[in-house]
Amino acid sequence: MASALINVPPRAKRGEIIEIKTLISHPMETGYRRTQLGALVPRDIIRLFVCTYNGTEVFRAELHPAIAANPFIVFSTVATESGTLAFQWTGDRGFSETESVAITVD
Amino acid sequence: MSRNTSRREFLLTAGGAAAGIGLASVIAVESARATPATMQEAIRKVVGPARVNPGRVKLELPPLVENGNTVPLTVKVESPMTAADHVKALHLFNEKNPQPDVASFRFGPRAGRASVSTRIRLADTQTVIAVCELSDGSFWSASVNVVVTLAACLEDA
Amino acid sequence: MCVVVLAASASAGEIPRAERRSGSDFMSRETRAMQDDDTANPGMLWVLEGESLWNKKTGDAGRACAECHGDARASMKGVAARHPAFDATRGRPVTLEQRVNVCRTERQKAPPLAYESRELLALTAYLARQSRGLPIDVATDQRTQPFLDAGRATFYRRQGQLNLACSQCHDDNWGRQLAGNVVPQAHPTGYPLYRLEWQSLGSLQRRLRNCLIGIRAEPYEYGAAELVDLELFLMWRARGMTFEAPAVRP
């Protein structure tokens, strides 16, 4: 799977509130399902999502199995300066995924 | 059965302030399923002894969902989001999934808007509650009841 | 288990063209919004992977799809909306999935991709995306006629322990409720699609097998002639309708 789909406006005005959409492929296995033979399928979820803006954390989400598969999170941040928005997802079984997107702020 | 029920009734009438009564061990013995009481306990864990006031939070969920696997949700709070007056966190809870917690979102003044959209799983028709924590230490909540239908034809033979 | 309440009237026959509606018309506003926004549609995760597979050298021939076919946005436009299509070598129609595997085995000298594998779904999602907005247009002539007729016979034949024919739900009772869901007309306008019930992208054949299991019939194997012929018939039945892949469905 293309791991993540991120939507950030490439350009914004200083002080403008921008909306960021993130979609990452992950089954978010709850740990409550059973196979046809009755064995419990172990939990395997993304537990944490953090967004940093030029290194400063601007948003954090702590996720539980009740978040749907292929987690979709939309949030806002203020466009303060040009630079890099970095996104990190971490979870069970050492799952760790990072993506970065550049933004130009006039 | 009667011992469990009477504990639950006691907790509900006592206003759900019961984090430390040993309820956790009672629930562990039963099959994993949240209840209105465990949801209240999960909220207490996050909020502590503070009072949770209804209001200020807007929780948007479809009243009837086609599939409980993916339920779109938006939660927001009108707030100036300044350093002096902002939303610190938004927490989501449910009452009938195996676990009461859904997610916690943390904000600061750099958020611009206290608003998050995501997709959640709902195992059954139930109530979803959003609790927000403001920078002044106060807590506010909103709740929505969602009807969840099951797929007519399942894939597993 | 399916619980069905059937109309007392006799079979209504083919849905008149003016009344043909895509499954997306029966969905809630929220599910429709998920499909219409490429930044929110989970199917796009597979489309993006398909794009990178399209450009990746593979097989003993060390060839990428792009080497022969160039930019898929131009060369593959309309292809998914025209499949299943007649394959002269094989003397019968083949699905898009089968067509991809013909290229893989014969041109790229690579092993065929398994049905419902991540890679095959990604490639077909990428290809299907190139037909979005175009009318469904499978060719029918004397070569495809016997297969179309076989597919039609399957559609109208009662099957399974519930002894139901596809037409009884999808021609005669579309728009009515089956348990908590609305019965759609069963036009494959958006495959491969992200089904909320599967929490994953899946092919039309997966959905057909799902329905067969639902009426307690033995589902045909992936790639079986019965499924390919039924796919051909369903695409013919949906002729002229707009292709919307990768769709989202409950």
Interface predicted TM-score of the whole assembly (ipTM), two decimals:
0.95
- Predicted model pTM: 0.88
pLDDT at res. C5? 46
DSSP at A43? P
User: Does residue B156 belong to the interface with chain A, where contact is any CB pair within 8 Å?
Assistant: yes
Q: What is the mean pLDDT of residues C122-141?
A: 97
Fold of the domain built from segment(s) C21-250: Cytochrome Bc1 Complex; Chain D, domain 2 (1.10.760)
Count of Cβ atoms closer than 10 Å to residue B72 Cβ: 21
Are the beta carbons of C45 and A72 separated by less than 8 Å? Answer: no
Using CA atoms, how far residue A62 sits from A28, A71, B92, B118, C221, in Å, is: 13, 12, 10, 12, 42
Across the interface, whether the CB atoms of A64 and B118 are under 8 A apart is answered no
- Mean per-residue pLDDT, C246-250: 96
Q: Is B111 on the interface with A (CB under 8 A)?
A: yes
Which domains, ranges and CATH numbers included, belong to chain B? 2-148 (2.60.40.2470)
Tens of pLDDT, residue by residue over C41-51, are: 999 999 999 99
* Mean pLDDT of the C199-216 span: 96
| Residue C208 vs residues A90, C159, C215: alpha-carbon distances, Å | 36, 13, 11
Stretch 19-78 of chain C: residues touching chain A, C-beta under 8 Å: 39-40, 42, 44-49, 51-52
Q: Which residues of B touch C2 (CB under 8 A)?
A: 152-153
Tell me how far CA of residue C101 lies from CA of C98, C105, C109, in angstroms: 5, 6, 10
Q: How many CB atoms lie within 10 A of CB B48?
A: 8
Cβ-proximal residues to B92 (8 Å cutoff; 6+ apart), any chain: A66, B73, B75, B101, B102, B103, B104, B120, B128, B129, B130
Q: Would you say residue C10 has pLDDT above 50?
A: no
The predicted structure's pLDDT at residue C179: 80
B148 strand-pairing partners:
B65
Q: What was the pLDDT predicted at B16?
A: 37
pLDDT confidence bin for B23, thresholds 50/70/90: very low
Reply yes or no on whether the pLDDT at B17 is more than 60: no
pLDDT tens, N- to C-terminus, chain A (106 residues): 568 999 999 999 999 999 999 999 999 999 999 988 999 999 999 999 999 999 999 999 999 999 999 999 999 999 999 999 999 999 999 999 999 999 999 9
Using CB atoms, which residue from A36, A66, A77 is nearest to B112? A77
pLDDT score at B35: 83
- Is the pLDDT at B30 greater than 60? The verdict is no
- In angstroms, the separation between the Cα of residue A92 and the nearest Cα of chain C is 19
Of the candidates A9, A10, A14, which has an alpha carbon nearest to the alpha carbon of residue A79? Answer: A14
In CATH, the number for domain A4-105 is 2.60.40.10
Chain C residue with minimal CA distance to A28?
A: C199
- B13 pLDDT more than 80: no
Tokens describing residue B68: 């409980």
In this prediction, residue C180 carries a pLDDT of: 78
Tell me whether residues B70 and C2 touch, CB distance under 8 A.
no
Catalytic positions of C: 211
Nearest-5° Cα angle at C112, C110 to C116: 140
Domain assignments of chain A as residue spans, ordered by start: 4-105
CA distances in angstroms from C2 to B57, B68, C20, C217, C238, listed in the order given: 40, 18, 24, 12, 25
How much is the average pLDDT of B94-108? Answer: 95
Q: Can you tell me the mean pLDDT for B120-129?
A: 95
CB pairs under 8 A between B and C: 59
> C175-186: string of b/e by CB count within 10 Å (b at 16+)?
eeebebbbbbbb
Rounded Cα distance, A81 and A54, in Å: 9
Pick from C170, C147, C166: which is nearest to C212 by CA? Answer: C166
Q: In Å, how far is B54's CA from the nearest CA of chain A?
A: 23
